[in-house]
Structure 1
Amino acid sequence: MSLPKFAPPRTFYAELRRRTALHFQTAGTAQTGNTQLLSKAVVLVLSLVALYVHLVFFTPPTALALLECVLTGMVIAFIGFNVMHDGAHGSFSRHPWLNQFAAYTLNVLGGSSFMWDFKHNHVHHMYTNIEGVDDDLDIQPWMRMTPDQKRYRAHRFQHLYFWFLYSMLYISWIFVMDYQKYFTRKVGSVALKPMTRHDHLTFWGFKALNLIIYIALPIYTVGFTGWLVGFLVSASVAGFVLSIVFQLAHTVEQTAFPVPHEVTNKLEDEWAIHQLRTTANFATDNRVISWLVGGLNFQVEHHLFPKISHVHYPVLSKIIRQTCEEFGLPYQEYPKMRYAVASHVAFLRQMGRAA
């Protein structure tokens, strides 16, 4: 398909980049992660290893096992937010090999870093909230996520059943969507970039390893029923946490869903302003949430500067907010996470009932 074209850049983003560069030069700090981020990554990865070893090899009592499965799902999501996400954007470390190592945690967790890189970095970040291009919006026919998607009668209740579908994200991701992209050579309607021999071997090698780690070995040690219950619990928790955090960034009442001109295929705004209109922050003053979700509550900052590590977003947000005020541009934010969740539910209800 022909991809939409943005309006020519003006002065806003150039000035914003100038001020951001000046900040890092004055502070004398790198734009990548720091020792605090590395320490957090170590804590999260070791926590996941400890939980896995205890569940698989020590068979705790049922109540404790279920609790640990819930924690495992949460830690999987937190590793995705804090380690994989920064690594995939090249912002985890100033060392390329460490960025790749961080990005490859997704392969260990069951996904594909190759598919994620193209889907997230090349498509979603460029064409945010554009129907037919941004694959993150495609949950059809189960949910209607934009005004331009076809509405089915069941969508009237999507604000009630969304939690179940969100819980299925992780399972669908590792068992269906990665393979769908691999064999169709597409991410939604966008052609997938060519894969090298190394990419093919990495894809299939880690998929085989995942079957051993997450299916064969646990079944051997705890039995099929114990594995099935534990896997469904941890995978559902991981799926819901991953889904809700990413959805709060772009599918709420404040965000826009721009449509290219039907003849010229051009968008009204330049890329940076497009990001402002299609993205929203939430709970940026909550340090606990910011630590857990890897700064993804600062989505405006992340979309404008995806190659800057999330550890710098609190300071960066002040620069962006002030620049937006001076240029008369929107800076969309929900002060509390519960307000963003409520707005997302209201958005789903609106999409389900709209003609």
Structure 2
Amino acid sequence: MPQATTLLAEPAAGSDFAPLLRQVRGQGLLERRRGWYARSIAANLLALAATAAGIVLSGDSWWTLLLAVPAALFWARTAFVGHDSGHAQITGTRRTGRLIGLVHADLLLGMSYAWWNDKHNRHHANPNHVDKDPDVGVGALVWTERQAAQRQGFTRWLTRNQARLFFPMLLLEGINLKISSVRGLKRHSPAERRTEAVLLALHAAGYATLLLSAMSPGKALAFALVHHALFGLHLGMVFAPNHKGMEMPDPDDGARRGHLRRQVLTSRNVRGGPVTDWLMGGLNYQIEHHLFPSMPRPHLRLARPLVRAHCRASGLPYTETGIVDSYRQALHHMHAVGAPLRTG
């Protein structure tokens, strides 16, 4: 199964990334934090169980829909664990990491671990490259004027208005992730496809049983829709600030970039304290995460001053902003991409 990009080999001696990697390794920031992850995973599983118990105890009441908020919040924590396991942040054992990922992604979320890893691996290898990064490929949204010029009919209208429609569209992302996961299964081996299909079916059956045993079909459907809408919104608000509106390498430019420039120039950090770190699963340290994908989540903030100083010494811009401004920049980029369609 494809694994998300990790940095295990020392780069060439002349690389501008090599001194930073040696410094980070020297401070032990690439070492595993198994105890930290064990406590975090246990706490999240307890929170999910408490939320499920609350749904059952609340019963057939519209007030039960309020529990969709913590359900979405702790589902996002579950997604972060799946993300970290794919990057080999939790354990150095491939088999254990895959098991953690399958449980958190397929069984608890109903989202294919293999599909996500394959997609995310390609993103890390070439962030913001329109021909190689699936996160900036043509979809419901587009990211370059060249992509926008190809839109016709309804999609053309969508592109003209994509900045104002972005957050409402995120409400559909939770369902879209599940649909894409099922479609993506066909790209993997028969054995892997069977394993994930069983886990996805168990998730669907368990989720439906939980809701239908506690409330009427109408309320259960309403809860599922609100839950998935909030989950998609939360994940979208975590991932949107990371690269949207940052440099996009010219696909016609044959010049090869080193790892440092390729990752730093396309990534943006989001400033904040412990609450921001928790809500964003550490992905607000996006520059550090892209430079060191296998670095455990609690070490990202510790690597930040080292990376920032190295970028300054190397003459590279280190982009960091507040959460509101990060959304403003991302939306401004989406608005600018659709501008020719509004004036043409």
TM-score clears 0.5? yes
* Distance in 1 (alpha carbons) for counterparts of 2:166 and 2:340: 17
Q: How does 1:266-305 map to 2 (within 5 A)?
A: 266-283=254-271, 285-305=272-292
Partner SS state of residue 330, structure 1: coil
Would you say 1:236 and 2:229 are equivalent positions?
Answer: yes
Corresponding residue of 2:241: 248
Worse-superposed segment, 238-247 or 91-100: 91-100
Unaligned runs of 5+ in 2: 1-10, 150-155
Q: Displacement, 1:67? A: 1.6
4+ residue stretches of structure 1 with deviation over 6 A? none
Corresponding residue of 2:27: 23
Corresponding residue of 1:35: 35
Q: Displacement, 1:66? A: 1.8
Would you say 1:339 and 2:318 are equivalent positions?
Answer: no
Corresponding residue of 1:138: 137
TM-score (norm 2): 0.86
Corresponding residue of 1:69: 68
| Residues 261, 267 of structure 1: 8 Å contact kept | no
Out of 317, 323, 327, the position equivalent to 2:314 is 327
Out of 11, 14, 29, the position equivalent to 2:15 is 11
Would you say 1:261 and 2:264 are equivalent positions?
Answer: no
Partner SS state of residue 117, structure 1: helix
Corresponding residue of 2:4: none
Corresponding residue of 2:163: 159
* Distance in 2 (alpha carbons) for counterparts of 1:153 and 1:171: 23
Corresponding residue of 2:295: 308
Corresponding residue of 2:82: 84
Corresponding residue of 2:54: 54
Q: Displacement, 1:296? A: 0.3
1:262-291 CA-to-partner distances (Å, cap 9, x unmatched) read 7xxx344223311111111102x4111112
Q: Displacement, 1:354? A: 4.1
Report percent identity of matched pairs: 24
| Residues 259, 267 of structure 1: 8 Å contact kept | no
TM-score (norm 1): 0.84
Q: Displacement, 1:30? A: 5.8
| Residues 68, 223 of structure 2: 8 Å contact kept | yes
* Distance in 1 (alpha carbons) for counterparts of 2:233 and 2:48: 18
1:313-335 CA-to-partner distances (Å, cap 9, x unmatched) read 1111111111111111121111x
Corresponding residue of 2:173: 169
1:45-91 CA-to-partner distances (Å, cap 9, x unmatched) read 2111221232146516422x12211111111112212x111111111
| Residues 129, 278 of structure 1: 8 Å contact kept | yes
Unaligned runs of 5+ in 1: 1-7, 186-193
Corresponding residue of 1:210: 203
| Residues 87, 294 of structure 2: 8 Å contact kept | yes
* Distance in 1 (alpha carbons) for counterparts of 2:146 and 2:302: 36
Q: Displacement, 1:98? A: 4.5
Corresponding residue of 2:182: 179
Aligned residues: 322
Would you say 1:349 and 2:335 are equivalent positions?
Answer: yes
* Distance in 2 (alpha carbons) for counterparts of 1:331 and 1:243: 23
Q: Displacement, 1:242? A: 0.6
